[in-house]
Amino acid sequence: MMTAEEYIESLRRLKTVIYAFGERLDDFVDHPVIRPHINAAALTYAMAGEPQSEELLTAFSHLTGIRINRFTHIHHSTEDLVKKVRMLRAVGQRTGSCFQRCVGHDGINALYSVTYEIDQKYGTTYFRRLRDYVLHLQETDNMVAGSMTDPKGDRSLSPGRQADPDLYVRVVERNGDGIVIRGAKAHQTGIVNSHEMLVMPTAALAEEDRDYAVACAVPVDAPGVIHIFGRQTNDDRKFGRLDQGNACYGTVGGEALTVLDNVFVPWERVFMCGEYDFAGMLVERFACFHRQNYGGCKGGVGDVMVGAAAAAAGMNGVAGASHIKDKIVEMIHLTETVYSCSIACSALGRPTPSGAYLVDPLLANVTKLNVTRHIYEIARLAQDIGGGILATMPSEKDLRHPEVGPLVQKYLKGAASVPVEDRYRIIRLLENMTGGTALVESMHGAGSPQAQKVMILRQGNLAGKVALAKKLSGVERCEDKACLARFPSCPHFRHTALQEKE
């Protein structure tokens, strides 16, 4: 396994093409806008080597029996699924931000089971290729970005009917050596500081969209790959320190728009090519894994928000107020609620035909839908406790200014025992974690709320629930003779007797 230092140095050896703020970044590793995201990902390597977190951050490969980083592991039990969630919460507590390796981890797990089933139907060799690729990731400990979301263009049109066919990634050439793909992937978390990207389709597809049914692995610095880094709320502050709020680990995951301009992929790194009837299965399994995550990582982030809000209350001298305590309790309750959902969908996981485990799809989608609501409420309560100063505090430069600095020090004093700079740091952390970019990611990461509602309706067995109600109410005839003998006075059995008389 790589250390954090080895991971950072490995990025320097890449020739990744990255543009940000209108210019190409030659030294992206030390760029102040990108380095916090690198630090967050580096912690997943560092914690794997720490005795207190080794159990959660590592696993034993089912392919080799060797200890590996859990972010390269294929789940083979409910214990694996639960440990993944516990790991995400532990890392989230340390970063207070996104650490980016989850998407690629979910991608290899989804493809592991889907390629097996494609091979069973069509006699292809995708599963062997995918297994070899997983072995490669385990041996190198490379970070892989999960690349599913396409720009999509006109959402009312299928991929093949777009005015511009490149708005979804597609295969434009096949030959004896491999394929050539063209298009783009949007909102790519952690991709600029990854080693590889795992391209997957973003939606269920029809036969006319066969060329869009492609899954493959591509180095992030392959010829034709261009990354355009996205802006984040208050990202200009990353050129300073105190005003960032979370200077070490940043905000969310450092997303980018990644363009694939006629990129060649050798066949050994192609895991789906034209099998459009399996695209929907891949999307759903990936989504379930990724939605499972959110109670874990957001549980950890929620822990930090609770702590920051409580610290701010103490610095403001109101920690003992009953309404403050009540709000803190509610924040803890909501944090544990989303975490509980992640644990539940993991504990009820089940094996797929490949032998790898999948989470419970219904509860995974409930997890993410809860996050789209509860994290906002946790943030609202944190802002309530923190006060209006979250939106109006002067800059670090004013705090350090020789003339107005003493005035800032004087009038931003809270409790007498608390240094003003400490209060500054906590307030900026709260602003960072409850501001725009972080909450948008909680809403739309792993799919928008409507995507979860669609899956919940599909997985919720509504017809079965209706049948339960009809049976208990007597609307439907009960055929259970033993039950009738035990409970002859039940309304639905009287209804049965009346039907027999009629």
- List, by residue number, the catalytic residues: 98, 102, 189, 255, 290, 294, 297, 441
Asked if 187 and 255 count as a contact pair (C-beta separation under 8 A), the reply is: yes
Residue 126: how many CB atoms within 10 A of its CB? Answer: 22
CA dihedral 314, 317, 322, 323 (to 10 degrees): -80
Cite the DSSP H helix spans in 69-146. 78-95, 102-122, 126-140
Nearest 10 degrees: CA dihedral of 68, 270, 283, 104? 30
- Three-state DSSP class for 58? strand
Residue with the two structure tokens 């394929």: 179
Asked if 168 and 159 touch (Cβ cutoff 8 Å), the reply is yes
Tokens of 178: 């491999």
Tell me the H-state helices in 348-395.
361-386, 389-392
| C-beta of residue 80 within 8 angstroms of C-beta of residue 73 | yes
Cα separation, 256 vs 120, in Å, equals 36
The type of residue at 110 is A
Residues 6+ apart with CB under 8 A from 105: 70, 71, 72, 73, 84, 144, 146, 289
Q: How far apart are CA 489 and CA 501, in angstroms?
A: 17
- The CA-CA-CA angle for residues 196, 116, 65, to 5°, reads 65
CB 199 within 8 A of CB 181: yes
In one-letter notation, the amino acid at residue 389 is: I
Angle between helices 420-434 and 279-315 (to 10 degrees): 160
Residue 248 identity (one-letter amino acid)? C
Q: Which of 55, 48, 95, 69 has the alpha carbon at shortest distance from 190?
A: 95
Cα–Cα distances in Å, from 12 out to 27, 100, 235, 363? 8, 18, 23, 41
Partners of 199 in the beta sheet?
147, 216
Counting runs of H as helices and runs of E as strands, what totals does the chain give?
18, 14
